[in-house]
Amino acid sequence: MFCFQCQETSNNTGCTEVGICGKTSEVANLQDLLIFVLKGVAFYADKANALGLRDDETPLKVARDLFSTITNVNFDPDFFVQRIKEALNLRNHVRKVFFTAYEQKHGHPFNEFLPEAATWMANTREDFLVKAQTVGVLATEDVDIRSLRELLIYGLKGISAYIEHADVLREQDSAVCAFIMEGLAATTDDTLTADDLIALVLKAGNTAVKAMALLDRANTSTYGHPEPTQVNIGVRNRPGILVSGHDLKDLEQLLEQTKDTGIDVYTHGEMLPAHSYPFFKKYNHFVGNYGNAWHEQRKEFAAFNGPVLMTTNCLVPPNDEYKDRVFTTGVVQFPGLVHIPNREPGKQKDFSPLIEMARRCDPPIPLEEGLISGGFAHHAVLSIADRVVEAVRAGDIKRFVVMGGCEGRHVSRQYYRQVAEQLPKDTVILTAGCAKYRYNKLNLGDINGIPRILDAGQCNDAYSLVVIALELAKAFDTDDINKLPISFDIAWYEQKAVAVLLALLSLGVKGIRLGPTLPAFISPAVLKILIEKFGVQPIGSPQEDIAVMVG
């Protein structure tokens, strides 16, 4: 195996025997082969799209499979063997559709070059594992082309996660679907130069903005616009179910099925922002948030006592102490864990196994008590835009610092808490994603009633931060975000954060600080481009970075 897609990759170079995330070399290799086959699907789908054969269902299937390869999502080798078989069948179907349409249009069969991803075929696990050894990241020998291809693929993985969440709520975007096919197919084209790939990477960023807007529309049209909310972080003396991940539809259906059962429902990690949606406030047994970010789950899941539902990524391989209480659903799977099947058309998922288990469990062990604030997505912040602009013009707010992104295990991530603590009192932090757990329980006060930490929500709600910045630009009569009193100090961990980074770059944002380490998949030459064109730079010390950001 060779994997360097996450921030914690071994020695910041690559995992070669087992993933730091816990995935085995077998799973890593099968994921590589699945992506290889999906490139073949995309090759035909992109060409079919050029003939005017619109097909959103194929890209959505590809996106679902790409999502399953994101860090900390799926650890089950059997799942990937099955997905490879189904992807090969899908590729052959799309090929047949394209070949037929091409011949009808041109009067002769398609006879152009076919990449190996479009032709390779096998049907046994043994053959899959042999082939997987040759199609991974290192199959691209040129280090800079490899870097740009992987940057593009990881951006596509993040985009895929967002459109999968939106599709659950029946929102789709044909342009986003088409680009997933275009971008993935481009990684099979050895004629593309570094400049060609850079253009595609920026197009991926533009597409990421569209994907996040799509998901924002899906969430807010279904559950209402998030509103400023105080969320309880203590516990009640009743059995509970803990929900982690990002999928609001799963949370909705679990809350419906646990009404009047005497069971409370708590959020964990990236599910915290659900408390700010008006829709969920009608459930009296939706009582609060338990714990912190994903990497704390081994301690926190053990203390919770009740069942835990993982709805999307951020699963850490569970300990035997609580393994029998962890349930997965959607694309998340781990060998030995009970998996809740996908919902059938017109029906809900069946969460009765969790409910029956919860009845027999003790209440959660208290970890902390108090309240934390959330719900400052774009609709809420823009409703007080006049106050914000007035505070800036009066000099009461001197700077906004965007500190969104992912949380992780590295001790060096204390940097983000230290920055939050040491920022001048005339600065406001804009955040989204689980990186906020480093500082969202600090009492930083407010400026003229405006909280100094404005939490927009999940990682995908980074879109809110973009909307807020663009609207501030309008208020200050400029079309350049970089002329605003805003600095970007971003934490990254996995591939959705890569999509967010590309989104910011596509909008022309310059001077982004990125940490706690720079991505291992960025080659020196590509890093030079990012530095020279966009001013991307590694984080330094809190004191040095604060001096520059607020200067």
Structural domain boundaries in the chain: 10-222, 229-359, 376-549
Write out pLDDT tens, residues 304-347: 999 999 999 999 999 999 999 999 999 999 999 999 999 998 89
Distances (CA, A) of 367 to 232, 299, 304, 320, 374: 12, 10, 9, 21, 20
Q: What pLDDT was estimated at residue 551?
A: 81
Whole-number Å distance between alpha carbons of 181 and 40 = 10
Looking at every residue in the chain, the average pLDDT score rounds to 97
CA pair distance 467, 454, nearest whole angstrom: 14
- Which CATH architecture best describes the domain 376-549? 3-Layer(aba) Sandwich (3.40)
Orientation angle between helical segments 125-132 and 77-106, nearest 10 degrees: 80
Give the pLDDT confidence of 103-113 residue by residue, as tens digits: 999 999 999 99
pLDDT value at 273 more than 90? yes
Give the fold, CATH level 3, of 10-222. Substrate Binding Domain Of Dnak; Chain:A; Domain 2 (1.20.1270)
Neighbours of 102 (CB within 10 A): 21
* 3-class DSSP state of 515: strand
Q: Cβ distance 265 to 256 under 8 Å?
A: no
Upstream peptide bond of 516 is cis (omega within 30 degrees of 0): yes
Task: Give the DSSP per-residue string, 382-421.
Answer: HTTHHHHHHHHHTTS--EEEE--B---S-GGGHHHHHHHH
Please answer whether residues 194 and 144 qualify as being in contact, where contact means their C-beta atoms are separated by less than 8 angstroms. yes
Using CB atoms within 10 Å of the CB of residue 296, give its burial: 0 to 12 exposed, 13 to 18 middle, 19+ buried.
middle
**Per-residue pLDDT for 503 more than 90?**
yes
CB atoms within 10 A of CB 323: 13
Nearest CA among 86, 102, 87, 104 for reference residue 47: 102
| DSSP one-letter code for 506 | H
Measured CA to CA, the distance from residue 153 to residue 3 in angstroms comes to 13
Q: Whole-model pTM?
A: 0.97
Q: Are the C-beta atoms of 466 and 437 separated by less than 8 Å? A: no
- 344, 377, 539, 382: which is closest to 462 by C-alpha? 377
How is domain 229-359 classified at the architecture level of CATH?
Answer: 3-Layer(aba) Sandwich (3.40)
Nearest to 429 by CA among 407, 452, 449: 452
Give the model confidence (pLDDT) of 147-177 as tens digits: 999 999 999 999 999 999 999 999 999 999 9
